[in-house]
C-alpha cells in the first residue's frame, strides 16, 4: 500500500503546489479568494431562491386554480346557505349543509396556499386563463357551471319544493362545471397538496351529483 | 497507515518550497536564476527530508500577464454579479408584504396610520352612522354587510352596509353619478364576476372615482388609471379585518337607497322554515 501511494500521489498535489508543470504563473490567492466569495454568494442566493422557485408563481396554474375555484366555491356556498334555510326535503338540507361546510373550508385551504406562496388573492391574468382552453369557457364573466345573478335571486325568492328542485338543478350544473376545472388542474399540476384537494373535490362533488339526482327522482314521484 | 504520514510530509515540503520561492522572489527581485536556484534547492532539501516525491518544475517569474484567464474571471465575475443582483431583487420583491406593495401606490390614503382609532373591527351599530371621510373607508357600520360577490349596483347604496363589506375584505369602487357610461362600464368590468368586489355611484365625491378597502382609499380621475388594478391586486381580500368571512348573503337591495336596513326589524324572507 505504501509503495502505491508514494508512486502515484493523489491528483490534488498539483493544485497545492505553487508552481505548475508548464512553468506558468498560477492565479494568485486574490483570484482564489474572489472565486470562493462568488461561489459562496451564488450558494447563498440559490438557498434564498430555491423555496420561491419551487412554489408556484403569480401566473402558475395552481395559483389560477386557487383563485378561480375560491370564487366558484363562494357561489356554491351562497346557494347552499339559501337552500339550507328553507328546503323541504331533509336530504336536500343535509347536502346543502355539507356543501357549505366543505367548500368554505376548501376556500380557506386555497387562500392559505396563496399566502404560503406569497401571492395575492387577486391575479393579473383573466379568469380561467390558467387552464388549457379555459378562457373560452368563461361566458358573460361566469366560470363553467356558475349561476347568473338572476338565478340566485330566483332561488332566494322560491318556496316549497321549488327550492329543492331549483337548488338541485343549479348545483348539479355548478358541480359539473367545477369538475371540469378540477380535471383541468389535475392535468397541469404535480404539487401533492393541490392534487390531493382537487381529487377530494372530484370525489365529493360526483357523489353529491348522484345523491341530488336521487332526491330529484323522489320529488317527481 | 503509512499513506497519511507521507501525505503530511509532502505538504510540509510543499510549504517549505513555497516559502523559499517567495523569499527568493522578494530578495532577488527579477533575478530569476537566483529564485530558481533557491526554489529548487529548497524543494530538493524538503523532498529529501520528507521522503520520495514528484519532481517540481522551477518557478518562472517576470513573464507578461496572462490575460486569457483574467478576462475569463472578469467575465464570470460580471455575470455572477448580474445573477446575484437579479436574484436579490427577485427575493426582495417576493418577500414584500402586501402592505409594502400597496404603500408604493402613489396617492394612496392610509387611514390605518392616520386613524388607528377607527381600525377596531366589529363595531356594529344600527341606523345612520356619521363618517368624517367621503366616502368612508373604515369605521363603525351596520351589522348587515352589503353583498359583494362582484355586485355592480346601479343606484347609491347605504354606506353603513358597504363599510361592513370593506371589513370583510372587499374593494368598493364608487364613482360620481355623472361619470360617462364608457368609464362606468370599464369600472364594472373590473367588478362583475369577481367576489370581494362591489361598485356603486356615490353623491358628492371630490374626484370622479374613489376606491375603498378597509383602512385604505385611492381617488383617481379616470377609469384607465393603472393604479386601480394595483389597488385591487394588493388590497382585495388582503386588507380584511376578518379573514375567512364571506361576501355572499348580506344586504343586496338597492331599492331602499342609502338608508341602512335594520335586520332585527325586518320580516324574515318568505318561505323561511323557522
What tens digit of pLDDT does each residue of B33-90 get? 444 444 455 444 444 455 566 777 766 666 677 888 888 888 888 988 888 888 888 7
Please say if the pLDDT value at position A26 is more than 70: no
pLDDT at B226: 97
What class has domain A57-219? Answer: mainly alpha
pLDDT at A46: 80
Cβ neighbours of residue B161 closer than 8 Å, sequence gap 6 or more: B141, B142, B144, B145, B146, B250, B251, B260, B261
Instruction: Return mean pLDDT, chain A.
Output: 87
Confidence band, pLDDT 50/70/90 cuts, at residue A191:
very high
Question: What is the rounded average pLDDT of the residues A99-107?
Answer: 95
Cβ neighbours of residue A17 closer than 8 Å, sequence gap 6 or more: B14, B17, B56
Give the integer Cα–Cα distance in Å for A65 and A82: 26
Question: What residue spans define the domains of chain B?
Answer: 2-50, 64-95, 109-235
For residues A5 and B70, the model is more confident at B70
pLDDT at B11: 46
Tell me the shortest Cα–Cα distance from B134 to chain A, in angstroms.
26
pLDDT at A42: 84
State whether residue B61 sits within 8 Å of chain A by CB. yes
Most confident among B4-8, B222-226, B251-255 (mean pLDDT): B222-226
Please say if the pLDDT value at position A31 is more than 70: yes
How many C-beta atoms surround the C-beta of residue B186 within 10 A?
16
Query: Choosing among A1, A4, A18, A135, which should be mutated to test the B contact, i.e. which has the most B CBs within 10 A?
Result: A18
Please say if the pLDDT value at position A89 is more than 90: yes
pLDDT at B204: 94
Confidence band, pLDDT 50/70/90 cuts, at residue A5:
very low
pLDDT tens, position by position, A47-67: 777 766 778 999 999 999 999
CATH number of B109-235: 3.40.30
- Residue B154 has phi, psi (to 5 degrees) of -80, -20
Scanning A62-101 for CB atoms below 8 A from B yields: 70-71, 74-75, 77-78, 81, 85-86
State whether residue A11 sits within 8 Å of chain B by CB. no
pLDDT at B4: 44
Least confident of A100-109, B228-237, B257-266: B257-266
Asked if the interface predicted TM-score (ipTM) of this complex is over 0.90, the answer is no
Confidence band, pLDDT 50/70/90 cuts, at residue A69:
very high
Confidence band, pLDDT 50/70/90 cuts, at residue B213:
very high
At B15 the three-state DSSP class reads: helix
CA-wise closest residue to B234 among B105, B104, B98 = B98
Confidence band, pLDDT 50/70/90 cuts, at residue A34:
confident
Question: What number of C-beta contacts closer than 8 Å exist between A and B?
Answer: 141
Here the cell at position A157 is: 325568492
Rg of chain B on CA atoms, in Å: 38
Here the cell at position A161 is: 319544493
State whether residue A112 sits within 8 Å of chain B by CB. no
pLDDT at B51: 56
H or E segment and range at residue A169: helix A161-188
Please say if the pLDDT value at position A21 is more than 60: no
Here the cell at position B113 is: 396610520
State whether residue B67 sits within 8 Å of chain A by CB. no
pLDDT at B262: 84
Give the integer Cα–Cα distance in Å for B102 and B24: 65
Please say if the pLDDT value at position A172 is more than 50: yes
For residues B246 and B46, the model is more confident at B246
From the list A31, A48, A120, the residue facing B91 with the nearest CB is A48
Give the integer Cα–Cα distance in Å for A202 and B1: 66
At B199 the three-state DSSP class reads: strand
pLDDT tens, position by position, B102-154: 999 999 999 999 999 888 877 898 999 999 999 999 999 999 999 998 999 99
Query: Do the chains contact at A9 and B54, CB–CB below 8 Å?
Result: yes
Question: What is the rounded average pLDDT of the residues B235-250?
Answer: 90
Scanning B75-104 for CB atoms below 8 A from A yields: 76-77, 80, 83-84, 87-88, 90-91, 94-95, 98
pLDDT at A139: 87
Query: Do the chains contact at B194 and A71, CB–CB below 8 Å?
Result: yes
List Cα–Cα distances, B58 to A27, A89, A153, B52, B74, in angstroms.
16, 99, 94, 18, 29
pLDDT at B224: 97
List Cα–Cα distances, A145 to A140, A175, A212, in angstroms.
12, 7, 16
Query: Choosing among B51, B54, B84, B88, which should be mutated to test the A contact, i.e. which has the most A CBs within 10 A?
Result: B54
List Cα–Cα distances, A25 to A10, A124, A130, in angstroms.
22, 56, 57
Amino acid at each position: 500500500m505504501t509503495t502505491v501511494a508514494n508512486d502515484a500521489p493523489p491528483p490534488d498535489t498539483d493544485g497545492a503546489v505553487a508552481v505548475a508543470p508548464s512553468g506558468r504563473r498560477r492565479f494568485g490567492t486574490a483570484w482564489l479568494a474572489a472565486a470562493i466569495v462568488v461561489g459562496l454568494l451564488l450558494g447563498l442566493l440559490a438557498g434564498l431562491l430555491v423555496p420561491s422557485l419551487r412554489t408556484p408563481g403569480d401566473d402558475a396554474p395552481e395559483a389560477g386554480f386557487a383563485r378561480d375555484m375560491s370564487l366558484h366555491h363562494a357561489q356554491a356556498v351562497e346557494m347552499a346557505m339559501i337552500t339550507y334555510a328553507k328546503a323541504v326535503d331533509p336530504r336536500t338540507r343535509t347536502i346543502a349543509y355539507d356543501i357549505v361546510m366543505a367548500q368554505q373550508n376548501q376556500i380557506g385551504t386555497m387562500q392559505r396556499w396563496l399566502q404560503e406562496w406569497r401571492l395575492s388573492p387577486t391575479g393579473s391574468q383573466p379568469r380561467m386563463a390558467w387552464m388549457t382552453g379555459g378562457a373560452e369557457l368563461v361566458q358573460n364573466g361566469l366560470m363553467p357551471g356558475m349561476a347568473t345573478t338572476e338565478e340566485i335571486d330566483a332561488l332566494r325568492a322560491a318556496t316549497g319544493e321549488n327550492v329543492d328542485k331549483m337548488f338541485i338543478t343549479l348545483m348539479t350544473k355548478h358541480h359539473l362545471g367545477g369538475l371540469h376545472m378540477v380535471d383541468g388542474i389535475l392535468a397541469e399540476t404535480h404539487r401533492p397538496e393541490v392534487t390531493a384537494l382537487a381529487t377530494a373535490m372530484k370525489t365529493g362533488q360526483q357523489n353529491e351529483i348522484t345523491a341530488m339526482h336521487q332526491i330529484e327522482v323522489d320529488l317527481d314521484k | 497507515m503509512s499513506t497519511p504520514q507521507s501525505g503530511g510530509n509532502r505538504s510540509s515540503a510543499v510549504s517549505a518550497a513555497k516559502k523559499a520561492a517567495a523569499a527568493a522572489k522578494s530578495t532577488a527581485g527579477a533575478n530569476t536564476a537566483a529564485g530558481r536556484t533557491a526554489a529548487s534547492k529548497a524543494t530538493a532539501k524538503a523532498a529529501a527530508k520528507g521522503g520520495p516525491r514528484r519532481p517540481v518544475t522551477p518557478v518562472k517569474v517576470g513573464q507578461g500577464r496572462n490575460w486569457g484567464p483574467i478576462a475569463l474571471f472578469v467575465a464570470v465575475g460580471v455575470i455572477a454579479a448580474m445573477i446575484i443582483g437579479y436574484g436579490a431583487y427577485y427575493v426582495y420583491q417576493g418577500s414584500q408584504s402586501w402592505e409594502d406593495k400597496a404603500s408604493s401606490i402613489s396617492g394612496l390614503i392610509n387611514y390605518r396610520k392616520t386613524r388607528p382609532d377607527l381600525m377596531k373591527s366589529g363595531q356594529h351599530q344600527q341606523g345612520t352612522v356619521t363618517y368624517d371621510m367621503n366616502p368612508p373607508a373604515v369605521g363603525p357600520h351596520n351589522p348587515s354587510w352589503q353583498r359583494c360577490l362582484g355586485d355592480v349596483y346601479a343606484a347609491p347604496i347605504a354606506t353603513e352596509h358597504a363599510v361592513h363589506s370593506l371589513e370583510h375584505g372587499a374593494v368598493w369602487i364608487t364613482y360620481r353619478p355623472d361619470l360617462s357610461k364608457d368609464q362606468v362600464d370599464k369600472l364594472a368590468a373590473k367588478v362583475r364576476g369577481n367576489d370581494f368586489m362591489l361598485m356603486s355611484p356615490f353623491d358628492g365625491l371630490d374626484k370622479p372615482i374613489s376606491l375603498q378597502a378597509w383602512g385604505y382609499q385611492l381617488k383617481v380621475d379616470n377609469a384607465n388609471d393603472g393604479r386601480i388594478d394595483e389597488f385591487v391586486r394588493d388590497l382585495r381580500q388582503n386588507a380584511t379585518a376578518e379573514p375567512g368571512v364571506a361576501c355572499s348573503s348580506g344586504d343586496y337591495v338597492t331599492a331602499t337607497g342609502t338608508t341602512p336596513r335594520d335586520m332585527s326589524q325586518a320580516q324574515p324572507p318568505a318561505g323561511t322554515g323557522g
